[in-house]
Amino acid sequence: MTRACPQCGTRFPDSVFFCGHDGTITIEEQDPEHFDPRLGDQLGEYVLVAHVADGAMGRVYEARHKQSKRRMAVKVLHANVAKDKVAVERFAREYTTAKELDHPHVVDVIDHGPTEDGSRYLTMEYLDGEELSLALDRDAPFALARLLRITCQVAGALAHAHSFGVVHRDLKPDNVFLCRSDEGDVVKLLDFGSVKLQLDTGPKLTALGTTLGSPYYMSPEQAMGKTDVDQRTDVFALGAIVHEMATGDVAFEGSGIAQILTNIVQKDPAPIGTVRAELAGPFEQVVLRALAKDKTARFSTTTEFAAALLTAVGLDGDVDKWAETPVASIERALETARPAALEPATGPGASIATDDADVVDAPPPIHATSLPPAVPRPSYALPKSVWFWGLALVAAGIVVGLVLALGH
């Protein structure tokens, strides 16, 4: 792929962002069969210089600030989506919500506005890396040190959002971006378009073409169509992600949305210990509590969950510290850590021993890099246009089924 100077026409490799003759921002050269008229356009103060990716809601571009030349990412709504009032409101909410959240592990959103052709754009920091979903496809199950660092960073970002009364509601590997760093993954939490403001009295952004969670990571209360979701819904989703990082497989499988959601409501998650024997016991017990069907039995906060995971493997529960600790240092700490002993109670609401005086006959240290063979992850997706009615019908079916079951 090459870039060209729009002023003098000189062509450059893709790694050259400015013309060597006059300093003009270079633009990605296009395939005539897939011509994008937006490339080279200026939206606000930002020049669109390259196509990055496409999603159901819009297209993402690499951009440069006209004056500072800062590299940015710009998301532009697809034309058909821009005609949907609810989708536009959700897009605006993504901007206003993320703009308030000043946290190192939440994507930095800069600007938002209309395009000349009636669409909308959102400008954010440019991220170099990949979604957690891609890393899971390639690397899962994760080494424990990597899992803990990612979990602590996500937990901290969510806790920050929760402190503003914001519940993400659509936490999934696609919305956890992993930036490259010599110290290990650096998380950036994405997509606050599905958020619920716990004190919000405005319109509910639920309509055709929008999503309120992805099936593998939805909490039981979401799966049943309940509206009283709170931050413990995000605790559940993070628990499902931790389970997947640990095992390489989803916590609740199913051949379709209906079966997945039914399993979330009625079935136990797939055991972690059968895949990672060294994580059976306290670690698995913590994850089970995060995945409790009854939200009152879960951890109250994401940082409480992350701290319990750290304690379960023999580390102190300082979530902020371990979030910024290099993976290599976490690995060394795990080599000498003594995991907590399993509590007598093993149900979803069981607690984990955190006081060294209470730890008796603790299991041997967990090796941070010991991993079973990688396992393929399931793939299940439907067009966004069928999500709302599909989930509504499925949720109604689950509720009816549970009522009938309880009646007998």
Task: Give the model confidence (pLDDT) of 111-170 as tens digits.
Answer: 999 999 999 999 999 999 999 999 999 999 999 999 999 999 999 999 999 999 999 999
Residue 386 has pLDDT above 90, yes or no: no
Residue 303: pLDDT band with limits 50, 70, 90: very high
Q: In angstroms, rounded to a whole number, what is the distance separating the alpha carbons of residues 146 and 325?
A: 10
pLDDT value of position 197: 47
Maximum mean pLDDT: which of 8-17, 95-104, 178-187, 368-377: 178-187
Secondary structure percentages of the chain, helix, strand, coil, to 5: 40, 15, 45
Q: Which residue has the tokens 């996500």?
A: 154
Lowest mean pLDDT among 279-293, 319-333, 334-348, 393-407: 393-407
Across 277-291, average pLDDT: 97
Cβ count near 182 (within 10 Å): 7
| Phi, psi torsion values for 310, nearest 5 degrees | -60, -45
Across 280-292, average pLDDT: 97
Residue 192: pLDDT band with limits 50, 70, 90: confident
Instruction: Please choose, from the candidates 155, 182, 152, 132, the residue with its C-alpha nearest in 3D space to the C-alpha of residue 328.
Output: 182
Residue 374: pLDDT band with limits 50, 70, 90: low
pLDDT value of position 350: 44
Q: Domains in the chain, please, with CATH?
A: 38-125 (3.30.200.20), 129-398 (1.10.510.10)
Q: In angstroms, rounded to a whole number, what is the distance separating the alpha carbons of residues 327 and 389?
A: 43
At residue 79, the 3 state secondary structure works out as helix
Across 9-32, average pLDDT: 89
Q: Identify which has the larger pLDDT, 297 or 341.
A: 297
pLDDT value of position 6: 87
CB 4 within 8 A of CB 27: yes
Residue 212: pLDDT band with limits 50, 70, 90: very low
The rounded mean pLDDT for the chain is: 83
Instruction: Please choose, from the candidates 177, 158, 180, 160, the residue with its C-alpha nearest in 3D space to the C-alpha of residue 238.
Output: 158
pLDDT value of position 203: 37
Residue 229 has pLDDT above 60, yes or no: yes
Find the catalytic residue in 41, 170, 234, 249: 170
Q: Is position 182 annotated as part of the catalytic site?
A: no
Cis peptide before 271 (omega within 30 of 0): no
Residue 196: pLDDT band with limits 50, 70, 90: low
pLDDT value of position 194: 58
Lowest mean pLDDT among 38-52, 98-112, 382-396: 382-396
- At 172-190, the pLDDT tens digits run 999 999 999 999 999 999 9
Cβ count near 258 (within 10 Å): 17
Q: In angstroms, rounded to a whole number, what is the distance separating the alpha carbons of residues 109 and 124?
A: 4
**Amino acid symbol at 116:** E
Length of the chain measured in residues: 408
Residue 204 has pLDDT above 50, yes or no: no
- At 94-110, the pLDDT tens digits run 888 888 899 999 999 99
Give DSSP secondary structure letters for 192-226.
-TT-EETT--S-----TT--S--GGG--HHHHTT-
Q: pTM for the whole thing?
A: 0.80
What is the β-pairing status of strands 186-189 and 176-179?
antiparallel
Q: Identify which has the larger pLDDT, 206 or 220.
A: 220
Contacts of 221 (CB under 8 A, 6+ apart): 228, 229, 233, 295
CB 250 within 8 A of CB 142: no
pLDDT value of position 268: 96
54 token code pair: 């496409």
Residue 384: pLDDT band with limits 50, 70, 90: very low
- At 337-359, the pLDDT tens digits run 988 765 554 444 444 444 444 44
Proportion of the chain above pLDDT 70, given as a percent: 78
pLDDT value of position 180: 92
Lowest mean pLDDT among 92-96, 242-246, 274-278, 282-286: 92-96
